[in-house]
Amino acid sequence: SKKGDKMRQAAGIMLIIFGMFLLNTVISALSGSAIHVVDIIFNLFITISAALFITGGIFCLMKKYRRLCLASAWLAVFIMIMWLTGSPHYGLSWLSWVFSILGTLPIIFVYLTKKEWKEIQD
């Protein structure tokens, strides 16, 4: 259905935006401070996660690999929770609210369009 396609596309776009936000945040954080081993590990995790969000978003747009889209959306929620609890020390307060929207809505949209994904993959 057209409504389902729009929700799936919105989920993909939000995941891609989320990944780009994360990459931008990591790059700006690395450029302005001394680098410690813990920061390198955390930033590597965030960078890999951002790549997963972008990949999941692209697959959402292509209507392929629903489970990967869903996994990347759940990882977005996990990172959103980390951001809201203050785990990354360079996190901005407004960014956590952006992440909460971009992390939650894709899960809802992918779940609501589950039936349509199954019709394509069968």
* Residue 94 pLDDT greater than 70, yes or no: no
- Residue-level pLDDT at 48: 85
Give 2-8's long-range contacts (Cβ < 8 A, gap of 24+).
Answer: 4/112, 4/113, 4/115, 4/116, 5/63, 5/116, 7/109, 7/112, 7/113, 8/60, 8/61, 8/63, 8/109, 8/110, 8/113, 8/116, 8/117
- The pLDDT tens digits of the residues spanning 29-68 come to 666 666 666 677 777 787 888 888 888 888 888 888 878 8
- Model confidence at 122, in pLDDT bands (50, 70, 90)? very low
Look at the pTM and tell me if it is higher than 0.95.
no
Residue 89's SS3 state is coil
| Interval 65-88: pLDDT, tens | 878 888 888 888 787 777 667 665
* Mean pLDDT, residues 79-104: 67
Phi, psi (deg, nearest 5) at residue 36: -110, 165
